[in-house]
Amino acid sequence: MSERRTRFEDASRGPLVALNRVPKALIVIGLAAFLVGGLLLPSPWGWLALIVLGVFLGWLLALSWPAIPGTSRLLRLLTVGLVFGAAYMRAIGRG
């Protein structure tokens, strides 16, 4: 494992421990709130909510990357891309 990967995992340990203390249902509700809020709130709040969601999902994807098979990687990468794409469309006023 590279030194960069090790530093990334070490830096993520604290937030992951804190996230693990939160009830799982609350995490799902929070993610859904950012998605719905991002799609329904007026600009600039809508696209900002989607950016926050995309960064969070991207962080989780980066952490889980070595442990997930290729097909799952592709689907998760597509999901993150769609969230950022929706944020872009909201930011330029087309979504």
Per-10-residue mean pLDDT of the chain, 95 residues long, equals: 93 96 97 96 92 98 94 96 96 84
Instruction: Give the list of residues 6+ apart from residue 31 with CB closer than 8 angstroms, or none.
Output: 53, 56
What confidence score (pLDDT) does residue 81 get?
98
Domain boundaries, the chain: 3-91
Output the CA angle 24-82-41, nearest 5 degrees: 75
What confidence score (pLDDT) does residue 43 get?
80
